[in-house]
Amino acid sequence: MLSSLLGFDLPPLLLPALVLVVTLLLKSWAEAPVNLPPFPGWRVPVVGHMLLLGANVREKLLEIRKTTGNIFSLYFGGTLVVVLSGFDVLKEAMIKQGDVFVDRPVGGVHSILRVNSGIIGSSGSTWKENRSAAFQILRSFGLGKDAMSQKVLEEIKLYLEYLENLGGQAANVKDTTTCATSNVICSIVLGKRFDYDDAEFISLLRSHREYITLISGAYVHAWFPQVKYLPGDFFKSKRLIQVYDEITSQMSHFIEKISEEERNGLATSNFISSYIEKMEEKEKSGQPTELSNHHLKRILFDLLVGGTDTTASTLLWFYLYMVHFPEVQEKIYEEIVREIGTARSPSGQDKVGLPYTKAVLLETQRFASILPLAISHRCNRETTVAGYTIPKDVPVLLHLDSVMLDDKIWDNAKTFRPERFLKGGKLACPEFFVAFGLGKRSCPGESLAKIELFLVSISVIQRFKVVPADPNNIPPLRYEKGATCAPLPFSVKFVARTAA
């Protein structure tokens, strides 16, 4: 009949194909929610809105928010994604409906790396039991207590010696600062630290940073995992898999080495031994458990990468801001001299007496906003946020930049001004400071990161003046693109205060 209407014969297989396409389109239209959050523009076939986002996704998302509002939809290829912006919307979803948004997506990078293990990438009972076990173990090692401050101070002593040995010469301290921050978590997880010139460990930390860069949503493989099957590696998906496998292989090596030391009676107290002991206790008692060596390997990955990258990047931003805003650095030093002096080392108890210093650290985190988007979530049932429908299983992006860099909240947000966190000379951190995320999956290492940032920064400023390597060529406030935004490599001088 259709052939007679058209006036020509259709190929035998074309008519069934047309019927199938029309049926699928009608089905998708019938099932599509009628009240999706608004789209910023036309959806391009195959790629969706990826061309609209362009190369600088971070800036483009802030721009889209101005026209669509605090909640909008995007298509990455055929994947519908909802972006939540603005503090009120984030709070409505992550606090008031925390159980609905607690899970992780199952596609994209997660499918490339086959990640549904450990803490960061898992969901459901796997996440709950492993997160609970990890926190119990970390608390037994002093997480959130004064004992943790002591571990940090032990590492700071060696870090300060390294800076002193530079003799005031210009240096890029990225690798050493990363090693120092990583050593704090390594002392717990592995029961040991690494020397700052340990080439193998530095290589592992650089792999961590490359991994952080390659899992960024700006990469095509984040939304088109099929590109890993294409010849070559134009989209870096094969390199991502290689880096991930290299890191997880090293995690397996750590587990095997500590297990061997345990058998030989040589093991020190560490997270790995404690996790294995907890796992074996459950297995012997016949309790069902999600604890396993498979999950332990990924938990080590999560702790070492998560406990290193953001803290090290924040400290590097702190040094860079001290160079750009020397008057702020001098105010910190004056407060340290007034409250602590120069004879004794700082301690965790000094937090109360250094409100300006703490305000500078908060402003450093806010101004740098090193986590523009939190790790993606998944809506585990259909729900409504800000009057819009979010379908079940849709990936959800938390747009933290939209809060940390919002002029309506912070009043001239693109100005570095620590005083915004002070009220009547006392520290005042508002609820819309979301550097560590919010809700049930906020950063599990928040307390450790806070004490590291505090003790390292005041210890360094107490002893050294951070100055530019070239006063006529101050390093720019520019960042490396990735899932987190570290500053571009730069060199500065750490000049001893007695010689300043």
Is 334 buried (19+), middle (13-18) or exposed (0-12) by CB count in 10 A? exposed
Q: Is 186 annotated as a binding residue?
A: no
Question: What integer is the mean pLDDT of 397-410?
Answer: 95
Are 394 and 366 in contact by the 8 Å Cβ rule? The answer is no
pLDDT surpasses 50 at 485: yes
CA-to-CA distance for 108 and 117, rounded, in angstroms? Answer: 16
> Alpha carbon of 301 to those of 108, 115, 256: distances in Å?
19, 12, 15
Which of residues 264 and 276 earns the better pLDDT score? 276
**Residue 21, pLDDT score:** 46
Question: pLDDT tens-digit profile of 43-52?
Answer: 888 788 888 8
CA-to-CA distance for 99 and 93, rounded, in angstroms? Answer: 9
Q: Residue 340 corresponds to which tokens in the numbers above?
A: 């602590």
Q: Give the best-scoring range by mean pLDDT among 25-29, 152-156, 242-246, 293-297.
A: 152-156
**Residue 481, pLDDT score:** 84
3-state secondary structure of 29: helix
Between strands 383-385 and 71-76, the pairing is: unpaired
Are 258 and 252 in contact by the 8 Å Cβ rule? The answer is no
DSSP one-letter code for 378: E
pLDDT surpasses 50 at 336: yes
CATH architecture of 50-499: Orthogonal Bundle (1.10)
**Residue 51, pLDDT score:** 83
With a CB cutoff of 8 Å and minimum separation 6, the contacts of 249 are none
Angle 271-285/124-140 helices, nearest 10 degrees? 120
**Long-range contacts: 139-148, Cβ < 8 Å, 24+?**
140/274, 141/188, 141/269, 141/271, 143/188, 143/447, 143/448, 144/447, 146/348, 148/447, 148/448, 148/451
With a CB cutoff of 8 Å and minimum separation 6, the contacts of 472 are none
Out of 83-97, 100-114, 486-500, least confident range: 100-114
Domain ranges of the chain: 50-499
pLDDT surpasses 70 at 28: no
